[in-house]
């Protein structure tokens, strides 16, 4: 009896973000579920990978490698970088009172 092996490719959420509405909903969910700034940066990295990372890096004013590193799991981007990325993606932050 031979065993068959199945090959699975790694899951990447970027494969499932098809437009800005998907990206906004994903980022909103991350913000609702987490208070960890690293998770927000990682979510932006996922959104960035769903499109043209090189083009986004150019619009943000960073190298592709620098942007990829800043938005990686181990990255630690400044708030200014986060704001630039959000704007370059065509998104915006929105705040509301919760108290």
**What are 35-77's pLDDT values in tens digits?**
888 888 999 999 999 999 999 999 999 999 999 999 988 889 9
Does residue 96 sit within a domain? no
For residue range 10-43, list pLDDT tens digits in order.
888 898 899 999 999 999 999 899 888 888 899 9
Does residue 34 sit within a domain? no
Would you list the DSSP string of 32-86? HH---HHHHHHHHHHHHHTS-HHHHHHHHTS-HHHHHHHTSTT----HHHHHHHH
Would you say the pTM of this structure is higher than 0.95?
no
Instruction: State the residue range of the domain holding 73.
Output: 42-91
Does residue 84 sit within a domain? yes
Does residue 46 sit within a domain? yes
Tell me how many domains the chain contains.
1
Does residue 79 sit within a domain? yes
Does residue 61 sit within a domain? yes
Does residue 56 sit within a domain? yes
Does residue 83 sit within a domain? yes
Cα angle, residue 73 at apex, residues 34 and 53 outer, rounded to 5°: 110
């Amino acid at each position: 009896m031979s065993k068959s092996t199945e090959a699975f490719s790694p899951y990447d959420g970027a494969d499932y973000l098809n437009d800005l509405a998907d990206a906004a909903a994903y980022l909103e969910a991350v913000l609702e579920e987490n208070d960890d700034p690293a998770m927000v940066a990682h979510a932006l990295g996922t959104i960035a990978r769903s499109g043209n990372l090189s083009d986004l890096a150019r619009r943000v004013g960073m190298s592709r490698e620098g942007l990829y590193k800043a938005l990686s799991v181990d990255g630690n981007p400044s708030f200014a970088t986060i704001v630039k990325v959000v704007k370059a993606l065509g998104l915006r932050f929105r705040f509301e009172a919760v108290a």
